[in-house]
Structure 1
């Protein structure tokens, strides 16, 4: 057997360069590059290997924060519809643990990302090394064990030969739509640099085939028979629609059957809001139309979604006494939720197979009229929230107005990314898509700080698209330094910061649950009471962005926001638009979310909120 003398790190780089996936006859590189921040735990091993062997086929990208680079890789993978991702490497210790949040974000969202954290010496000779966490009861434990519960695959390479089995398994998990998520290969500092005789065939091109499985004929017959009995059916479309490239199949299915479509955060864009059968967002952040139809739905066909509490309104949304769920999903774990009839299979192929069995069937005419009526009522509500008749008390823009103006400014080739705070609830309702992919949401983990890094990842995956990061001031303060990376790489993104001088979303939740304002506004501490309730802390976000290399604007009203958006579009540099917004809101919710106020409190408003909470608990249903 022919062998090649190499180091572990060099073998990893050469192996990754030879990995591909194929679907529908089209090949894609599985790992398109490596984000990294170097330290003693990876600079002389994997860092040297990337410099020596990476080249154009595995380019190195310099991040400024380890969590952010994982988020950028996740957004890249989502944009590529899980047909490609980026690897991320860090040093030992804090560099590695900074990636744990990103790993959780990837796994929760079922998105592939490869993590290559440095680890402590396998030979243990210099132990404890700098940054090593010692566990007195277990000599082989390191901080990288934190990755185990948030990774879909984890391995630690203590001998060079172990990569011969670990890396192929890691690639299998990354490429498998049903199992994918964070894949972590911990690399001890000494092992990265060790030499061994690697079989030459290990570096040959490997193509991982992603097929389109369909459920059994018996399951399809049962699902079709159930749908044929439905009088008020509903489709709930999740992110699996996009990953399967199934938007056209879904539209044809809905048009043939007359079943309306509601969308989750990840499923937004599965059917454009202008379509007569599109009900828009569903659940806690849902539209009047979607939530009204969902409440009466007797059969719910869910496609590519895990039915989180925001989608089901904490199990209070679907109130038909005999409601049944049919679930299309590549992952059997997700397909079986809510007692659904599980159709394990690819979304596009399964929708097509189900459509053939429903040929000639359509929803009752009376239900079609109900759908049209719900859409009309929602349209009136949308106009009230997106364009308030009365200005805010402080004269600042409402966040909903910012979303509407941005929506008007974008084109089908634009992408708007968001993740946390009050923005996801507002934009999920209000955004009216111009293409299936102009809306990018990370709401599975709702991780603050995803937005700027996510915008960078989208731009890496789709450099010809105009990319906007829409985030609040709280999220910007958590993680915004990848603006520097965007400037460094010449990847123009536009960051829009809505500034309400607070962690505003949770501030509203706190008060809506009966609590007094505490700990969420950005105020100075007072001497009198020792609480954070003094003067607001004023932050110059535009100046901060300029210091990071961006071009910055401030918009204080609708006209200046439109001017800033136009000016940013004309720029070739990364831009930031700072928009002070009112803490007040004109948004309305149509579903409930289970957030329990304290059962015992001296605050009357908390006691009242608890009583209301217990009344609403009676509407929760557990479907089996």
Structure 2
């Protein structure tokens, strides 16, 4: 044991755990640890964005790409309160990072010093964090840090990943004690439970009895890195695959058996297969309202008439929305390998599902015939399908796409084909605006040799334009494509769909003139020291994106997109008690 300051112990532990970055912003509450980070700046880099929420989104995206956690550091009061959104986003999507927040000195607890929350309990900021983290820790002495650090790291990465909070009083950073650095965590990706032999055999029997099975894969498949096993299972037996947004890329999006996303803004073949399947094998998904057409029978799924096998590492998700015929608590990769090994002992031919695949292929052809013509439409402003299709053609297979919340996200859910896992980043569960804008920088740090492109709405980008400063300061060659439709487009579409076009508060106007308004995003980028381009004609888009990627500099491409073209719904989605809309293409089917 050696005598160490609390800040030194925290910094040394992060270095020992090979945490390469700590994303954070200075404040009087955390200045006591900055000196320790200065002494270790060759081993762990402090990256300081211009907003704490951005630090959290960067850490979240880093984990989604690399599956290794980093840390954030914020000061007392407002600085740490700004972390709530990014922590809620990470928790909702099973992403992990260690959020180190700072609190008032223990000697001042309950005396209402600067930025203390004390109404119900002294130094009560941990209560703010509890709903948005997997676990909150509040060590109040230096000798409490070793246990708290080890438990925080282990909690964060075992089972279903999630963010954790370490709330540190200011004095603990600077006070000294005889302490020992905790042993290195060996639990990351080590705790990977499998299914029982009986459960695996039961799944085999269900598959053997099925005629129209589908796989439905989600973030649990991505987190377990089960893409190779899932693709092998699908190909060996010819089983179509439906993907949630965070499961995209586990099987290549252009694979003949990949049907894409399901739900209101899903692909028609996915919804048709989901509602007509006789067996759904679900691997690491939650059946949230958007991927289940608000749980209305016959729109995306047909439970309980359809048999359901639900595999998830988190027992709380089994049966949350649909009671499974068989629930399995297991790591997706381990389970899928177990299933493949057991199926190898059986005589189950892919020919059994040939009629089902032919039916699915028919739906794929119908959908292509309906949507494909618009991908070549040459209009100004640009049609949404043209933007998605052009990016699909010119962006390389190894691109990391960071999407923000907004109507553009609906278009990408419906049509984007991700070619690799951990390469399509979505704020899905919490749908926080700013995630895509900020997260792309964390993705770039996680994969410095890969192109990182964010597609973000004009509303979302204006929430976090400070990202340009950070990208320039740290020489991050990210590209932001601003989907500029001069509106909060997704909500405007709801007004048109549910309230007869009674539009208020959703379009961007200059005063009372009726003239649509947005800043000149390209000029804004250039003012910050980044590159900036504006695209108003379809023939300009491909060249602008290719040039931005070639330059390897921070760049904003302002793309003017037609706000009057809306994604065709193939399922439904309800905001009770407002009646839900019927699909624009296809129709519900109840077994």
TM-score above 0.5: yes
Q: Would the alpha carbon gap of residues 77 and 437 (structure 1) be closer, same or farther in structure 2, given more than 3 Å must change?
A: closer
Which of 26, 30, 33 lines up with 1:46 in the alignment?
33
C-alpha separation between the residues in 2 aligned to 1:171 and 1:436? 24
Answer yes or no: is 1:475 the counterpart of 2:460: yes
Q: Within 5 Å, give how 1:360-509 maps onto structure 2.
A: 360-361=347-348, 362=350, 363-388=352-377, 395-509=380-494
TM-score w.r.t. length of structure 2: 0.93
Match of 2:79 among 95, 99, 121: 95
> Is 1:576 equivalent to 2:556 in the alignment?
yes
Q: Deviations over 1:214-263 (max 9, x none)?
A: 11111112222122221211111112222212111111101122210011
TM-score by structure 1 length? 0.88
Q: C-alpha distance in 2, partners of 1:37/1:416? A: 26
Contact map agreement 1:263 1:281 (CA 8 A) in 2: yes
Does the 8 A contact of 1:234 with 1:261 survive in 2?
A: yes
How far does the alpha carbon of each residue in 1:9-48 deviate from its partner, in whole angstroms, 9 at most, with x for none?
A: 11111122222xxxxxxxxx3x3321110111001x1212
CA distance in 2, matches of 1:397, 1:548: 27
Q: Which runs of 5+ in 1 are unaligned?
A: 20-28, 527-532, 599-609, 614-618
**Comparing 207-216 and 309-318, the one that deviates more:** 207-216
Q: Select 2:145's aligned residue among 129, 143, 163.
A: 163
Aligned match of 1:339 in 304, 323, 340? Answer: 323
The aligned residue for residue 517 of structure 1 is: 503
Q: Distance between the aligned counterparts of 1:170 and 1:321, measured in 2?
A: 39
Q: CA offset at residue 422 of structure 1? A: 0.7
In structure 2, the gaps of 5 or more residues are: 583-587
Deviation string for 1:156-195 (max 9, x for gaps)?
Answer: 12122111321111011112132x2110010111222111
Correspondence for 2:585: none
Deviation at 1:132, TM superposition (A): 2.8
Distance 1:292 1:611 in 2: 19
Structure 1 residues 398 and 35, CA, compared in 2 at 3 Å: closer, same or farther?
A: same
Instruction: Tell me the CA shift for residue 321 of structure 1.
Output: 5.9
Correspondences of 1:259-270 after superposition (within 5 Å) = 259-270=239-250
Specify the alignment match of 1:151 in structure 2: 133
2:20 aligned with 1:35, yes or no?
A: no
Are the structure 2 counterparts of residues 86 and 236 from structure 1 closer, same or farther at C-alpha, using a change threshold of 3 Å?
same
Match in the other structure for 1:13: 11
1:193 and 2:171 are equivalent in the alignment: no
CA distance in 2, matches of 1:468, 1:290: 27
Once the 2 structures are TM-superposed, how far is the Cα of residue 315 of structure 1 from its aligned partner? Answer: 1.1
Q: Distance in 1 between matches of 2:391 and 2:188?
A: 39
Q: 1:460 to 1:469 in 2, by over 3 A?
A: same
Distance 1:309 1:272, change over 3 A: same
Normalized per residue, which structure has more strand? 1
Kindly tell me: are residues 555 and 70 of structure 1, through their superposed partners in 2, closer, same or farther at Cα, counting changes over 3 Å? same
Counterpart position of 2:163: 182
Question: What's the counterpart of residue 318 of structure 1?
Answer: 301
Judge which range, 90-99 or 332-341, deviates more.
332-341
Q: Distance in 2 between matches of 1:498 and 1:119?
A: 40
- Is residue 76 from structure 1 mapped to residue 62 from structure 2 by the alignment? yes
